[in-house]
Amino acid sequence: MVRIGAFLVGLFFAGWLFVSFLVGAYSYVTEPPAKTVEHEFHLAPKHVSFSFDGPFGKYDQRQLQRGFQVFKEVCSACHSLKFVAFRDLEALGYNEAEVKAIAKQWAIKTPSVDPATGEPATRDPVPADHFPKPFANNVAAAAANNNAIPPDLSLMTKARHHGTAYVYSLLTGFQEQPAELLKKFPDSKTPEGLHYNPYFANLNLAMAPPLSADGQVTYSDGTNPTVDQMAQDVSAFLTWTAEPKLENRRAAGLATIIFLLIATGLAYMSYKNIWADKKKAA
Amino acid sequence: MSFPWAEHYTPKHPLMQWVDEKLPLPRLVYNAIGAGYPVPRNLNYFWNFGVLAGVALVIQIVTGVIMAMHYGANDLVAFSTVEQTMRDVNAGWLMRYAHANGASFFFIVVYLHIFRGLYFGSYKAPREMVWLLGLVIFLLMMATAFMGYVLPWGQMSYWGAKVITGLFGAIPVVGEPIQTWLLGGFAPGNASLNRFFSLHFLLPFVIAGVIILHIWALHIPGSSNPTGVEVQGPQDTVPFHPYYTAKDGFGVGVFLILFTAVLFFAPNYLGHPDNYIEANPLSTPAHIVPEWYFWPFYAILRAFTVDFFFVPAKLLGVLAMFASILLLFFLPWLDTSPVRSGHYRPMFRKFFWILIIDVLVLGYCGGAPAEEPYVMISQLFAGYYFAHFLIILPLIARFEKPLPLPGSITESVLAKYAKADGETAAVPAE
C-alpha cells in the first residue's frame, strides 16, 4: 500500500513538474525574457586593495583617520553613523583628550532636554554619545534630499556584496550616461535630479557626486587628497565602522587555530595509539 | 544494553558505589557512551557526524543563551541590540558570529549525517525508529533556524518571515487566518518577533530531548556499520570508550578547525548582506532568499509555476516542499532491499550519486534569483527528487542484484588489512 501510494504521489509531482517545465520552456523559446537595462549596464565593484585585505590584514590607522576626516567634512552632512560612538575613535589612534575635543566640536549637536523647562534642546556631544543624526527624522531627511533618505553608514560595507569595494566604486563611479545605453533603452534616461552611476543597483541614485574635486579636504599628514585617495580612505573608514573588531577577531582566530591544530594532532595520535591493536591483519 | 558481552559498570570507589545505589546515573552514562556500549569495529569517519551534531547543538545553546542576555526582542530595538552585542559586549562579536555560523555548521554536519544514513541504509529495520526520530530532530532544527534568522530583524529576517508564513496563506479557506494567527498580526511585527524569540529559545531544548530518544532507540539494536552486516559476536565490536571516544575526539578537532576558520576569517561569507539593513516593511529586497541550508527546499517551492486545474501553483509548491521532507519518513518502507549498505548495491549506488548531484543543483537554483533558466532547471531536478524516492528506489529494491556480502564484520575488516599488508593469503574464516 505504502509503495503504491508513493508511486502515485511521485508520479503526480514529477509529472506536473515536467508539465511546468514544458510550459516554461515553451514561453522561454517563444518569448525570450527581455534584457533589462540593469542587466546590461550594471557593473560589479572595481578591484581596489587595502591594508586589511586577506586573512591577516590590519587597518592602517592613518588611513582610517583620513577617512574619518572625509566622513566628517563631506558625508556627515547628510549621513548618520548611529552605531558608532565618539569613544570608539580611540581605535583610530586618537587619545582621550582628542576624542573629547572631536565630540565637543562636532557640527551636529546631540538632542537633549532643557533641564529648566523640559523643552527639547541640544547639547555638545560627549565621548560616550553615538554620532548625532544630521536629520531629526526620516521626513526631514527625505525633504532635504530630493525625497531620498540618506542611509545610515555604520554598516554600509557589510550591507552590500563586496561592500568596501562597492563604496569606493560608487564614490568614484559617477559619470555621464553612455550613449549606447540611451540608444538601446531610450526610456531609461536618468530622471531629473538623479545621477547616473553604473555601480548602483538601479543605475540612478539621488546622491550627487560627493567627492567632486581633488583637494576637497586638506589632509594633515601630507597625503595628496585626490578623489581616488579620498574615496579609498572613506571606504576604509566605513569598513572599520562596520567591523570595528576585525583585528581582534583575526588575532583570536590565529591563536585558536594554532591551538586546535596542536590539540587535533594530539587527538589523532591518541586515536591511532588506542586503535593500534585493532587495526592489524589477524 | 544491547549485547550480552557488554562490559558491566562496577564502581570501585565507595562514593561511586553509594551514588550508584541511590541514582545509577554514572551507570547510564557508562552504558550509553562509555565502555558499556559495544560498537562495530569497522565504522568509518562518516560515523563521526552524530557526535559532531551533538557538539554543534551544545555550541548553539551556549552561545545562544549568552546572546539572549543582551538581546531585546522588540521590533524597535532588536536590530540595534544585536549591533550593540557585536560592538560593546565583551566577546559579543565572537558569540554572535559563533551562533550565526554555528547554525550553518550544525546543518552541514546533520546533512552529512543524513547522507551517511541514506548511503549505508541506516534507516532500515531494525533502526526505523532511529531514522524517524532523526527526521523529527531535522524538522525541529529547521523551525528553530528559521525563527532564529528572524531575530536580528534585518531585511532578510523580515521578508523571510513574511514569505515563509505566507506559505500557510496558500492553504485554501483557512490559510489566511492561520497566517495571521502565526504572525500575531497581518504582517511580521513585534508580536511575531516576540513569539519567535520565545520559541527559538524553547526548541533547542526540545531537540535535546528528542536526541535522547534518538540515542535510546539507537542503543536497542546498536549502531549500524559500513558493511550493513549485523554484529554476530564479541569479535565484531569494540567498547565505545576508549575506541570511539578517541576517534570522535579527533573528529571534533577537525570540525572545530573548519568551524573556527570560517568563524574568525569569513564570518559573513555564509550570510546575506541585506540582513545588515534594518527591517523595512516598505522596501522589498530585490531577491528574497533564505539561508543556504534551505535552498534545495526553496527551489522545490518555486518550481511549481502552473496551476493544476483548480489547485493553484503556489499551493502545489507548498505541498511539494513539505512532501519533499515528509516522504523521508516513509523511506524504510519504500526501500525494501534487504541489503543495507550502498557498497553492495551497484544499481542503488548510481542513483544515489545522481540524487546527491540533484540536491546540490536544487540548492544552487534555490539560492539564485527566481528567473530562467533557474526555474526550468529546478523543475527538472525537483521532478527527479520525487521520482528518486517515490518511484525509482522501490523499483531498484525489486530488480537489483546485490553483490555478495561479507560473512561478518570481522571478516571484512581482516580482508581489508590483509589487502593493505599486501598478503595474498586467504582470510581466516574465524
Exposure string for B258-294, b = 16+ CB within 10 A, e = fewer: ebbebbbbebbebbbbbbbbbbeeeeebeebbbbbbb
CA dihedral B378, B380, B381, B385 (to 10 degrees): 120
pLDDT tens, N- to C-terminus, chain B (430 residues): 468 889 999 999 999 999 999 999 999 999 988 899 999 999 999 999 999 999 999 999 999 999 999 999 999 999 999 999 999 999 999 999 999 999 999 999 999 999 999 999 999 999 999 999 999 999 999 999 999 999 999 999 999 999 999 999 888 889 999 999 999 999 999 999 999 999 999 999 999 999 999 999 999 999 999 999 999 999 999 999 999 999 999 999 999 999 999 999 999 999 999 999 999 999 999 899 999 999 999 999 999 999 998 889 999 999 999 999 999 999 999 999 999 999 999 999 999 999 999 999 999 999 998 888 899 999 999 999 999 999 999 999 999 999 999 999 999 988 888 777 665 545 454 4
A124: left (phi over 0), alpha (psi -120 to 50) or beta: beta
Overall average pLDDT of the A156-172 stretch: 96
ipTM metric: 0.93
> Chain A within 8 Å of B282 (Cβ-Cβ)?
no
CATH 1.10.1660 given to domain B289-399: no
For residue A13, give the nearest of A2, A21, A3, A1 by alpha carbon: A21
Could you tell me the three cell numbers for B72?
A: 531585546
Q: What is the pLDDT of residue A34?
A: 83
Q: Contact B265/A9, CB-based, under 8 Å? A: no
**Measured between CA atoms, how close is A180 to chain B, in angstroms?**
26
- Interstrand relation of A204-205 and A195-196 (parallel, antiparallel or unpaired): antiparallel
Per-residue pLDDT band for A281 (boundaries 50, 70, 90) equals low
Contact between B109 and B53 (Cβ < 8 Å): yes
Could you tell me the three cell numbers for A82?
A: 548611529
Q: Where are the domains of chain B?
A: 37-280, 289-399
Q: Report whether the peptide linkage leading into residue B11 is cis, meaning its omega lies within 30 degrees of zero.
A: no
Q: Contact A3/B380, CB-based, under 8 Å? A: no
Tell me how far apart the alpha carbons of residues A141 and B165 are, in angstroms, rounded to a whole number: 33
> Chain A within 8 Å of B399 (Cβ-Cβ)?
no
Could you tell me the three cell numbers for B144?
A: 528553530
Grid coordinates 541506516 are at which residue? B122
Tell me how far apart the alpha carbons of residues A10 and B389 are, in angstroms, rounded to a whole number: 8
Q: B291, B335, B358, B411: which is the annotated catalytic residue?
A: B291
Phi, psi of B238 (to 5 degrees): -130, 155
Active site residue B219: yes
Say whether B241 sits in a helix, a strand or coil: helix
Q: What is the pLDDT of residue B2?
A: 65
Exposure string for A198-236, b = 16+ CB within 10 A, e = fewer: bbbeebbbbbeebbeeeeebebeeeeebebebbbbbbbb
**Residues 6+ positions from B284 with CB-CB distance below 8 Å:** B159
**Residues 6+ positions from B295 with CB-CB distance below 8 Å:** B289, B362, B363, B364, B365, B366, B367
Question: Of all helices (H) and strands (E), which one includes residue B86?
Answer: helix B78-88
Overall average pLDDT of the A208-218 stretch: 92
Q: Do the domains B289-399 and B37-280 match in fold?
A: no
What single string gives the DSSP state of each residue in B132-184? Answer: HHHHHHHHHHHHHHHHHHHTT-BHHHHHHHHHHHHHHHTSTTTHHHHHHHHHT
**Measured between CA atoms, how close is B144 to chain A, in angstroms?**
24
pLDDT higher than threshold 70 for residue A72: yes
Contact between A227 and A213 (Cβ < 8 Å): yes
Say whether B208 sits in a helix, a strand or coil: helix
Please name the member of A2, A260, A280 whose beta carbon is closest to the beta carbon of B257.
A260
Which own/partner contact pairs does B90-95 have at CB distance under 8 Å and 24+ positions apart? B93/A245, B93/A248, B93/A249, B94/A249, B94/A252, B94/B263, B95/B63, B95/B66, B95/B67
Averaged pLDDT of chain A? 93
- For the stretch A248-265, pLDDT in tens is 999 999 999 999 999 999
Could you tell me the three cell numbers for A189?
A: 534616461
Contacts of B376 in chain A (CB under 8 A): 21, 24-25, 28
- Superfamily of domain B37-280 in the CATH hierarchy: Cytochrome Bc1 Complex; Chain C (1.20.810.10)
Could you tell me the three cell numbers for A39?
A: 542587466
Tell me how far apart the alpha carbons of residues B308 and B303 are, in angstroms, rounded to a whole number: 13
> Chain A within 8 Å of B87 (Cβ-Cβ)?
yes
Between positions 222 and 261 of A, the ones with CB within 8 A of B are: 242, 244-245, 248-250, 252-254, 256-257, 260-261
Please name the member of A11, A271, A275 whose beta carbon is closest to the beta carbon of B249.
A271
**Residues 6+ positions from A228 with CB-CB distance below 8 Å:** A172
> Chain A within 8 Å of B426 (Cβ-Cβ)?
no
- For the stretch A123-151, pLDDT in tens is 999 999 999 999 999 999 999 988 899 99
Question: Of all helices (H) and strands (E), which one includes residue A123?
Answer: strand A120-123
**Total CB pairs under 8 A between chain A and B:** 175
Per-residue pLDDT band for A280 (boundaries 50, 70, 90) equals low
Phi, psi of B112 (to 5 degrees): -70, -35
pLDDT higher than threshold 80 for residue A190: yes
Overall average pLDDT of the A14-18 stretch: 94
**Residues 6+ positions from B280 with CB-CB distance below 8 Å:** B155, B158
For residue A200, give the nearest of A243, A148, A129 by alpha carbon: A148
Give the number of other CB atoms < 10 A from CB of residue A71: 20
DSSP code for B308: B
Q: Report whether the peptide linkage leading into residue B373 is cis, meaning its omega lies within 30 degrees of zero.
A: yes
Active site residue B247: yes
